[in-house]
Structure 1
Amino acid sequence: MNDKLKAKRPVVDFHCDVLSKMQLNSQVDFSHLSLDVTKESLLEGHVQLQTFAIYISQVLGTPRFEHVVRQIELFRQHILSSSGGLRPLLWREDLENKDEAPDKLPRTDGSGMHQTRSPWALLSLEGADALEGNPLYAELCYAMGIRLMGLTWNYANWAADGIMEQRGGGLTRKGHELVKRCNELGLLLDVSHLSVRGFWEVLEQAALPPIASHSNAFTVCSHPRNLQDDQVRALISRNGRIGLTFVTMFIKEQGTVTAEDLLLHIEHICALGGARHLMFGSDFDGIEHHVEGLEHPGKYPAFAELLLKHYSEEMVKGWLGENALHYLQTNLPSKSSS
């Protein structure tokens, strides 16, 4: 299938860790060979929207708000600059022309390819640790362009327990305050990494439908980071979204992992009623071992062809991008009400 037809299936990817890599290595820019996600690989994969997570590495010591600010600076310098060239996604109005997928077309002088539209870039915060116990910092996050908030990474912080915290606690008092502030601001909530108890407390209290940006099905692969069936059903009932991830240990418990292994997760979530709630959150640049056939965003068109061998065009287009775009077009804040 030629590039023009493939471009009709634009992709949305709800999670990558490019900014953390940039923070840890000042030599890394948006075209660095060490990155899975680059402008070139996004265009190659027909990625219409990439979410860039702000994850504060444990290497940096105690997380501080200045670490968040630094990654936002890197986002602006490398991702949104003239060299990066991506468009920031802040408001639902930005998506009014969402059917205009990024594409590469031949230059009229025959000198190569050029882009006609740049992908969007959305900012998320992966873990509230660096907000330093102050829910008011959520306001600054929102003002600086963050639109998606995850309360934890894997372990406990001042707001909540993560899924790998053995005590399995839920939200703290300040965590409840943070959720309330996110509701007031219109910050969307991400339940990937949350403890089971924390998951249910966020589902109960969130004003807008939450998402799991990068989690798979526990019934298919019993890693704690994956979602139990009742959690999947709860997200579906709230009209949230589930971003299947390419972390190999979340896909298959042992052995070589290929792109086909993701089909079991897709099939299971669809069987639970989630066909219109599936999307992808690759975790590119946060992956130690890559799925064969899904090593970087440029592999998405080939993955789409694999999906089309088993599912309809409408379903595949939904999973690749349309389900995520409909969610954002409905739930992002409106510029007129800000």
Structure 2
Amino acid sequence: MQVIDLHCDALFKLSAGKGRLSFRNSEELDTNLMRLQAGKVKIQAFAIFIDSDINSDEKFREALNQVDYFYKEVLGKNPEMKHLKKWTDLYQLEAGEIGAFLTLEGVDAIGNDLGKLRILYELGVLSVGLTWNNANLAADGVGEPRGGGLTLFGKEIVHLNNERQVLTDVSHLSERGFWDVMEIADYPIASHSNAKALCNHPRNLTDEQIKSMFTKGGLIHVVYHPPFISEEGVATTTDLIKHIDHLCSLGGVEQIGLGSDFDGIEEKVIGLENAAMTQNLLNELLKYYKEDVVKGFAYQNFLDHLPK
């Protein structure tokens, strides 16, 4: 069964490796090409993530550096990888090809310059999250004690996303920021978040947030990070499926997807340690859900809710 995965941090690892890693087969990459193929991942989103420790005047350069690795190492050296620059490109993929598109995890890199965001759109960014865990000029992340919402600049970004048919990602946003996005975003998504009712972590969504996403037509892609799955800190695929069950109970059976966060997490779900093992999750899901429902989780729900 083919899979669409809405979040990985392979570009961050490739950049940190300074040319030492091969996207094709480096063991250090959870989402290398060999593993994507083994896991039948048909479309992979690649996040541009900028470490908060980088000086502000260097952040846009680092964003472009990660984009360069995407073009040079992911696409340039692997003819099986096909760049998706617009949503309709998803339907052009042929057998044996894997689609790849860029996302932006936090807008720290653009400072207060929307021109830089427009450059990233032109380079192929199709989803934008306003923050990582920290605060920036657009909004507060979940790690900012102030818990502020979107700034006027942040709202400008959401409106630009709407105009460009770009997703606005609420994963990592403060709760107040989340509700601000719900008011104005045409295409909200949570690329890698779970249910707070099952695991009380700041990165997870409350039932009220979840129901709001579903009412708005947004999708929630469950994340494979054990601290977001179980308060015990260790997690199995069965534990992850409990989050899917909970989302279904809130009306989201047709609005659930997958967002592994591979290459951005050190701890792993047992039996789901890298992209090659993705089918383990689907096989487990098939024990509880009909095949068409599991296909929805794996890829069809995302295709059914693309911006139009």
Q: TM-score, normalised by structure 2?
A: 0.95
> Aligned pair in 2 of structure 1 residues 247, 143: CA closer, same or farther (>3 Å)?
same
**Distance between the aligned counterparts of 2:290 and 2:196, measured in 1?**
25
* One-letter identity of the residue aligned with 1:287: I
Q: Is the 8 A contact 1:41 1:298 kept in 2?
A: yes
Deviation at 1:149, TM superposition (A): 0.3
- Looking at structure 1, the residues matched to 92 and 75 of structure 2 have their Cα atoms a distance apart, in angstroms, of 19
Contact 2:226 2:233 in 1 (8 A): no
* DSSP 3-state at the match of 1:117: coil
Using the alignment, how far apart are the partners of 1:285 and 1:204 within structure 2?
32
Q: Which amino acid aligns with 2:209?
A: Q
Residue 279 (structure 2) aligns with: 301
Task: Judge conservation of contact 1:138–1:181 (CA < 8 Å) in 2.
Answer: no
**Residue 96 of structure 1 aligns to a residue in which SS?**
helix
Aligned partner letter, 2:161: C
1:46 aligned residue: 40
1:4-41 C-alpha deviation (Å, 9 max, x unpaired): xxxxx210100000000111111122021111001111
Aligned to 1:181: 160
Instruction: Select 1:160's aligned residue among 139, 148, 152.
Output: 139
Residues 153 and 318 of structure 1, relative CA distance in 2, 3 Å threshold: same
Are 1:326 and 2:304 counterparts? yes
CA distance in 1, matches of 2:295, 2:165: 27
Structure 1 residues 1-12: aligned runs within 5 Å: 9-12=1-4
- Say whether residues 1:288 and 2:282 are aligned partners: no
Match of 1:5 in 2: none
Deviations 1:42-76 (A, max 9, x none): 11011110000000123533352111111111000
| Equivalent position of 1:106 in the other structure | none
How far apart in 2 are the matches of 1:144 and 1:309? 41
- Within 5 A, what are the aligned runs for 1:241-320? 241-320=219-298
Asked if 2 retains the 8 angstrom alpha-carbon contact of 1:16 and 1:285, the reply is yes
Cα distance in 1 for partners of 2:28, 2:263 equals 9
Q: Distance in 2 between matches of 1:154 and 1:246?
A: 18
Report the equivalent of 1:67: 62
CA distance in 1, matches of 2:61, 2:79: 23
- Structure 1: gaps (5+ residues): 1-8, 101-115, 333-338
Distance 2:284 2:157 in 1: 41
Partner in structure 2 of residue 217 of structure 1: 195
Which residue identity is paired with 1:36?
D
Q: Residues 61-97 of structure 1, C-alpha deviation per residue, up to 9 Å, x if partnerless?
A: 3352111111111000111113363111122322335
Q: Which residue of 2 aligns with 1:76?
A: 71
The code of the aligned residue for 2:295 comes to: K
What does residue 108 of structure 2 align with?
129
Give the SS at the match of 1:53: strand
Residue in 2 that maps onto 1:335: none
In 1, the alpha carbon distance for the partners of 2:42 and 2:110 equals 30
d(CA) in 1 for partners of 2:145, 2:53:
23
Q: Deviations over 1:241-270 (max 9, x none)?
A: 101000110000015311111111011100
Between the aligned partners of 2:91 and 2:28, the Cα distance in structure 1 is: 34
| CA–CA separation in structure 1 for the residues paired with 2:201 and 2:88 | 38
Residues 1:239 and 2:217 aligned together: yes
Alignment partners' CA distance in 2, 1:257 and 1:133? 40
Unaligned stretches of 5+ residues in structure 2: none
Aligned length: 305
Asked if 1:16 is matched to 2:11, the reply is no
Compute the displacement of 1:180 (Å).
Answer: 2.0
- What does residue range 77-156 of structure 1 map to in structure 2 within 5 Å? 77-83=72-78, 85-97=80-92, 116-156=95-135
| Contact 1:213/1:244 (8 A) holds in 2 | yes
What is the root-mean-square deviation of aligned Cα atoms in Å?
Answer: 1.4
Q: Is the 8 A contact 1:139 1:185 kept in 2?
A: no
Alpha-carbon separation, structure 2, partners of 1:64 and 1:97: 33
Q: 1:227 to 1:255 in 2, by over 3 A?
A: closer
Give the Cα separation in 1 of the matches to 2:89 and 2:240: 31
Q: Identify the residue that residue 171 of structure 2 maps to in structure 1.
A: 192
Q: 1:301 Cα deviation (Å)?
A: 1.6
